[in-house]
Amino acid sequence: MAEITYRRPEVSDAKNIVDFYNYVGGETSYLSFEKDEYPLDAAAQEAAIRELEGNDTNIMLLAMDGEEIAGIATISSTHKIKARHDGELGIVVAKKYQGQGIGTTLIKKLIDWARGNGVTTRISLDTRADNIMAVSLYLKMGFQVEGCRKNSTLLNGEYYDLYIMGMML
């Protein structure tokens, strides 16, 4: 099993991050974007990484196998006063690294960071209800299913439900 290290991104990681998201978008249908549909290019990703520096309520965490990105998890929050306590979690682990505990470690680290940032008191996420691996991971970490958006994903002519999940810290 690969030795994985966890760290925040640097500006020089921007292209790798964009390539990673565009690649994993094609590996799984569970992400909101498909292959090559990741909305940022390398320049926009660099700017996004700069914005994270010193940001109390937004974070990106990379799981690295040497120079290769194995997984990425993020918490994104609005700056709006009434909603900034509620961070939205996003996570993806590349297929060849799944089932090794990387997703669990990424979420643990994000929860610890959120508990310590002085603002975030809740974490939210959406996931396809049939994404068994993700739903089990989130339940294991303490998230609850708070609601369901029926038929909110349409893929190859089939509708899928989305669970709204959340946890108070």
CB of 120 or CB of 128, closer to ligand COA? 128
Closest approach of ligand COA to the CB of residue 123, in Å: 13
Closest approach of ligand COA to the CB of residue 29, in Å: 9
CA 142/CA 20 separation, integer angstroms: 28
CA 91/CA 103 separation, integer angstroms: 7
Cβ-contact 10, 80 below 8 angstroms: no
Instruction: Name the 3-class secondary structure at 126.
Output: strand
Instruction: Name the 3-class secondary structure at 52.
Output: helix
Cβ-contact 149, 164 below 8 angstroms: yes
- For residue 135, give both structure tokens: 């739903």
Closest approach of ligand COA to the CB of residue 35, in Å: 13
CB of 40 or CB of 164, closer to ligand COA? 164
Interaction site with ligand COA (CB under 6 A): 28, 30-31, 91-93, 98-104, 127, 131-134, 136-137, 140
CB of 56 or CB of 112, closer to ligand COA? 112
Residue number with the shortest CB distance to ligand COA?
103
CB of 52 or CB of 133, closer to ligand COA? 133
